[in-house]
Amino acid sequence: MTATAETTGQSSPEQLRTAMVEALRSIGAVRTDRVAAALLAVPRHVFAPEVPAAEAYEPERALVTKRNEHGLAVSSVSAARIQAQMLEQADVRPGMRALEIGSGGYNAALLAELVGSEGEVVTVDIDPFVTERAEKYLGEAGYERVRVVLADGSGPVEGGPFDRIVVTAGAWDLPPAWTDALTEGGTITVPLRMHGLTRSITFRREGGRLVSVSAEVCGFVKMQGADAHDEFLVLPRGTKEIGLRFDELERPDTSRLGGVLETPRAEWWTRVTVGNQEPFDSLYLWLASSLPGFGLMSVDSELDTKTVAPANRMACPVIVEGGSLAYLALRKISDGPAVFEFGAHGFGPEGGPLAALINTEVRKWDREHRAGGGPTFTAQPAGTPNDQLPDGLVIDKTHVRLTISWP
């Protein structure tokens, strides 16, 4: 007798896909029947043969397909939750022409399901390992109609203009080729980094500018090629224990931070609280768009001397001015259920005032933006005069002037 999923007690790929889609619906990542149908149709496990099928269908699991010499992921099949979320944002319809920047195969197959037989899908990647792999597995899964292109995705791609562009690599900038490739009213959905914080933003083209229609928290491996961008890293103690990362062209002077963490620590608290499982992602973005000298602090758990106690040891808001710094902090104020209070710690001669400044902005976020829908993002070409920009924080990238406007 031939062994089957039923006789071995293992779930079949079809059963695994159904369970994945049900899980994604339950958390709100899948909201429409057409995205659900695409996820049910495409065999995700075919694009990740290195792992067992059951792992390929775990909703939160990203499947790394290539690492660099340092062991860092440079290509992956993104977590199904993120892919579903971005496809819902992109609102891809039958008959559309879609471009995917950053290939892998699986997401391109999902796009092919969404555009249908009358639509077109082009997927492009700079790495021949990725494009060869994508072409191979797209063929095995029955999606030969997807055109796979080996090229730097930040440049022009033949086949446009496109109704939808979906970028599946973390971008720091918005190259003009992307805007030029869009139809008027077309959209691009892109994981965009701003001060080190990544949001999956869907922008609609309005003439020469892009205006956001939605934004979601996400994370992606960084883009390679001409528009790759690395953060500026500062080690105030000279070791990897504590790092300060600054991600924009304009950054604070950090030359006077030597010894700052050996000074007494100032602590200020806000009376603004948060529950144990309550998200507060908009707070980080608010602080990034309202505080000068903004960056992110990280702490190496193996080297940690407990000198600092940031709210998040992987990426915590920090501000720098001269020889002083301050960062966002949390302290537990009650158990059952756990409740935490926001505050700030400061170091250096101006550490106390900097901590107080963070707390002022935390309170403003709590009053005015905590329950809101978040900001609008507008991208206009570099060189656009200030009087033609909307109100808000302006971040100057290489190709665009990005404005973050809070209601």
Catalytic residue numbers?
Answer: 78
Please tell me the number of Cα atoms within 13 Å of 305 on its side-chain side.
8
**Token digits for 148?**
């796979």
Task: List Cα–Cα distances, 325 to 19, 58, 109, 348, 381, in angstroms.
Answer: 47, 41, 47, 7, 33
Which residue(s) pair with 250 in the sheet? none
Instruction: Give buried/exposed letters for 335-349 (b at 16+ CB in 10 A, else e).
Output: eeeeebbbbbbbbbe
Contact call for residues 194 and 395 (beta carbons, < 8 A): yes
The strand pair at 339-347 and 324-334 is best described as antiparallel
Single-letter code of the amino acid located at 87: L
Rounded to whole angstroms, the Cα distance separating 253 from 4 reads 64
Residue 247 has, within 13 A of its CA and on its CB side, a CA count of 22
Task: Locate 243 and state its tokens.
Answer: 């790092």
Q: How many residues does the chain have?
A: 407
Buried b (16+ CB within 10 A) or exposed e, 45-61: bbbbeeeebeebbbbeb
Question: Cis ω on the peptide bond leading into residue 390 (within 30° of 0)?
Answer: no
Look up residue 190 and give its two tokens: 């892109």
List, as one string, the DSSP characters of 325-392.
EEEEEEEEEETTTTEEEEEEEEESTTHHHHHHHHHHHHHHHHHHTTTS---EEEEEETT--GGGSPSS
Helices within 142-258 (DSSP H only): 176-181
